[in-house]
Amino acid sequence: MIPSIEWTEENTVKMIDQTVLPFELKFLELNDYRDVAHSIKIMNIRGAPAIGVAAAMGMALATIEYKILPKKDFITSMEEAANLIQSTRPTASNLFWAVNRMLKIITSAPDDPPNISELVIEEAKIMAQEDINVNKNIGKNGAKLLADNDIVLTHCNAGSLATVQYGTALAPVRYAIEQGKRINVIADETRPRLQGARLTAYELHYDKIPVKVISDTSSGLLMRLGKINKVIVGTDRVTSDAVFNKIGTYLVALAAKDNSIPFYVAAPTSTLSLHETIKDVVIEQRDSSEVSHILGKLRIVPEGVECLNYAFDITPFKLVTGIITEDGVFTPQELLKKYK
Amino acid sequence: MIPSIEWTEENTVKMIDQTVLPFELKFLELNDYRDVAHSIKIMNIRGAPAIGVAAAMGMALATIEYKILPKKDFITSMEEAANLIQSTRPTASNLFWAVNRMLKIITSAPDDPPNISELVIEEAKIMAQEDINVNKNIGKNGAKLLADNDIVLTHCNAGSLATVQYGTALAPVRYAIEQGKRINVIADETRPRLQGARLTAYELHYDKIPVKVISDTSSGLLMRLGKINKVIVGTDRVTSDAVFNKIGTYLVALAAKDNSIPFYVAAPTSTLSLHETIKDVVIEQRDSSEVSHILGKLRIVPEGVECLNYAFDITPFKLVTGIITEDGVFTPQELLKKYK
């Protein structure tokens, strides 16, 4: 398992370029926060936790560039850097959370810019480590749900590549395997952007964890045939009545329910937004070319035919067996009681 | 609407080459039954009703080639031709049905080979016309279920291209539009072979029927959002407890049920196999390269990762609102009562 992003000893940001996976394992090493912002925008790095850490590291790079300025100018420049980084993917909540955490240090620390830069770099490293720790605890809590010889379906990529390391939905699988359980994974390919076929398959195969890829149309049949017996997915946001995750998650949850298969959601507490309900959330619509073309390379839909491309799905709590956080495993009702 | 296959005045078989749709509208004109067999195998023509007619026309071509032989040799040669045609797609029931219908004429007619050839050619033409008539009646019966401004989801292609003309699942849409109703179609792209994105989108757009394509992951959300209000799909086989159709159909049916949206199946009576139950049917598994590569052109799954590729889905009767045959619309219980 390779970290998707890290702060190097040379004070650069090193990340896997996920746009060329699984065909090439290429690393980007960036020393300009503008390049980090661009890499978030074009999805060299993706996955809410990983984006948050990338944003924090981008802010850290900016402090290195601006620490020679007088403090007032330093703060002004850092606010400009923050705006640029936040503009890259306007709906990713972790982006704002991470940048604001950095801005708070920058504007409230009594130190000089060079010392503030040290503090911000340290904070970025801490955030990366925090992410790994949260994921490991999700793994530990979730592994208790998995038995020897389980076949686990996951949708999209909520693995190591979506975080700094270890993953959210895939953490319980990794932990259970470390415990000696034999676990097989089925990866939904996850159209339109194919994060399952490309990224989940890649990272599990790389780590020698057994994985097979299926078309998104196949999960229901495999459950009927007894070839899947647990589901774990990640999430971008949990409201008081539903789980928001990659488009297609709701269909998987329906099939799990109809076949009495447990449906678990791995949710770092940073994704909980329990003051909201379904109606508060706007589902992002992305460019229709993601549907009409495969990975920007191969057209599959006739010219002139429109495509719809909603990026996220709504899975109501009635379909959710358990939510795995870094604190434990909870039914939706228990989750509301504990965190709301 | 172009016929997918026809018998020409020059005694050749003319068919649309569906492997290059939607990017090219190319016709094949064949006068050797071996070429017809090959075209079924490589899926220049597909869809159970269309395959049946292609097989019948292939047999007709063979009679032209062999009618100069003495009757005994003629029959032997025709049996060899039948074997070749039947070996192309071993699970397509219409193939066997059509070839056997022809063999019955060939072996039982008292005539000489040249006269038998005339009879077989006539029979092939009749079968093509029968298919159109059945589809038109399905359209007439199904159109009663559609209201002005309905948005109809369909999965895979059970349209004109899957039949001689008109289609099964798309026939009610065509008929309702002829009646002046405004109907919009949503086409599931239908991985792995993308018959929805390629063929359903193509034929509806060609006929100026409004159609939008979605990834297979999106149908549940669109139903939740009120952007789909009816579902009509085709079928390859109806047993006494379930509908067998393209992989992914079961997930669509689950989502329809959860959103109280009617789920209809267009089923020519030739697809009814009510003496069978779910356990009698073996689900065809196809080459995993259909999942790992898009249309044989673009790899999306890492090298070394296995894919599962089940071609058909099982949709239990509890999820089916109505079955549309050329005789009328029936609940599953009514269907059993009428046809079993």
Rounded to a whole number, what is the distance in Å from the CA of A287 to chain B's nearest CA? 12
Rounded Cα–Cα distance for residues B135 and B137 (Å):
5
Q: Which residues of A touch B313 (CB under 8 A)?
A: 217, 220-221
β-sheet bridge partners, residue A27: A16
For residue A250, which residues of chain B lie inside 8 Å, CB to CB? 220-221, 224, 255
User: Cβ separation of B221 and A308 shorter than 8 Å?
Assistant: no
DSSP three-state, residue A156: coil
Burial of A104 from C-beta contacts in 10 A (0-12 / 13-18 / 19+): exposed
Q: Which of A161, A188, A298, A300 to mutate to test the interface with B (most CBs of B within 10 A)?
A: A300
Among B residues 178-217, those touching chain A with beta carbons less than 8 Å apart: 186, 189-192, 194, 197-198, 201-202, 205, 211-217
pLDDT score at B90: 61
The shortest CB-CB distance from A255 to any of B218, B254, B302 is to B254
Residues in B closer than 8 angstroms to A224, CB to CB, are 250, 314
What was the pLDDT predicted at A144?
A: 98
Angstrom CA distances, B302 to A2, A24, A299, B293, stand at: 17, 10, 21, 10
Three-class secondary structure of residue B105 per DSSP: helix
Contacts of residue A313 in chain B, CB cutoff 8 Å? 217, 220-221
B 225-254 → A contacts, CB under 8 A:
225, 227, 246-248, 250-251, 254
- Give residue-wise pLDDT tens across range A43-87: 899 988 899 999 999 999 999 999 999 999 999 999 999 999 998
Q: Which listed CATH number (3.30.1330.10, 3.30.43.10, 1.10.569.10, 3.40.50.10470) goes with B140-339?
A: 3.40.50.10470
- A1 pLDDT tier (thresholds 50, 70, 90): confident
Between A190, A201, A224, which is nearest B217 by CB? Answer: A190
Residue A91 pLDDT: 65
Q: Which long-range contacts (CB under 8 A, 24 or more apart) does A88-91 make?
A: A88/A37, A88/A38, A88/A40, A88/A41, A89/A40, A89/A41, A89/A51, A91/A284
Question: Among partner residues A190, A222, A294, which is closest to B298 by beta-carbon distance?
Answer: A294
Q: Is the peptide bond before A70 cis (omega within 30 degrees of 0)?
A: no
Between residues 298 and 317 of chain B, which touch chain A (CB distance below 8 Å)?
298-302, 304-310, 312-314
What is the percent of chain A where pLDDT is above 70?
99
Return the closest-CA partner of residue B250 out of B198, B186, B318: B318
Q: What pLDDT sits at residue B7?
A: 97
pTM comes to 0.93
Question: Which pLDDT score is estimated for A127?
Answer: 95
State the smallest CA–CA distance between residue A78 and chain B in angstroms: 40
Q: What is the per-residue pLDDT for B236? A: 87
Chain A residue numbers with beta carbons less than 8 Å from the beta carbon of B197 are 291-292, 300-301
Domain spans, chain B = 5-136, 140-339
Residue B305 to residue A254, Cβ atoms within 8 A: no
User: Can you give the pLDDT at residue B316?
Assistant: 98
Residue-level pLDDT at A47 = 87
From the list A202, A204, A214, A292, the residue with the least C-alpha distance to A248 is A214
What tens digit of pLDDT does each residue of A135-191 get?
999 999 999 999 999 999 999 999 999 999 999 999 999 999 999 999 999 999 999
Task: Give me the tens of pLDDT residue by residue for chain B, a chain 340 residues long.
Answer: 789 999 999 999 999 999 899 989 999 999 999 999 999 988 899 988 899 999 999 999 999 999 999 999 999 999 999 999 998 876 667 888 899 999 999 999 899 999 999 999 999 999 999 999 999 999 999 999 999 999 999 999 999 999 999 999 999 999 999 999 999 999 999 999 999 999 999 999 999 999 999 999 999 999 999 999 999 999 988 999 999 999 999 999 999 999 999 999 999 988 888 999 999 988 888 899 999 999 999 999 999 999 999 999 999 999 999 999 999 999 999 999 999 8
* Predicted local confidence at residue A43, as pLDDT: 87
For testing contact with chain B, the best of A208, A301, A314 (most B CBs within 10 A): A301
- In chain A, % of residues over pLDDT 90: 87
Q: How far away is chain A from the Cα of B279, in angstroms, using its nearest Cα? A: 11
Contact A302/B202, CB-based, under 8 Å?
yes
A199 vs B236 pLDDT, higher one: A199
Using CB atoms, pick whichever of A198, A217, A312 lies closest to residue B191. Answer: A217
Residue type, B250: Y
Band (A293; pLDDT cuts 50, 70, 90) = very high
Helix, strand, coil percentages, rounded to 5, for chain A: 45, 20, 40
Residue in A212, A308, A313 closest to B212 by CB? A308
Measured between beta carbons, which residues in chain B are less than 8 angstroms from residue A186? Answer: 308
Burial A193-206 (b: 16+ CB within 10 A, else e): bbbbbbbbbbbbbb
Q: A-chain residues within 8 Å CB-CB of B246?
A: 217
Nearest to B217 among A191, A205, A300 (CB): A191
Structure confidence at residue B203 (pLDDT): 96
**210-229 in B: which are within 8 Å (CB) of A?**
211-222, 224-225, 227
Total residues belonging to chain A: 340
Structure ipTM: 0.92
Sign of the dihedral defined by the CA atoms of residues B221, B224, B229, B234, in that order: positive
Does A301 have pLDDT greater than 80? yes
d(C-alpha B26, C-alpha B43), whole Å = 14
Q: Which CATH architecture has domain A5-136?
A: Up-down Bundle (1.20)
What SS3 state is found at B111? Answer: coil
- pLDDT-derived band of residue A90, with 50, 70 and 90 as boundaries? low
Active site residues of A: 236
Instruction: Output the six-digit token pair for B244.
Output: 């067998």
**Mean pLDDT value across chain A:** 95
The 3-state DSSP class for residue A53 equals helix
Question: What is the least distance, in Å, from the CA of B259 to any CA of chain A?
Answer: 11
Dihedral, CA of residue B223, residue B228, residue B232 and residue B238, to nearest 10: 0
- Averaged pLDDT for residues A216-245: 96
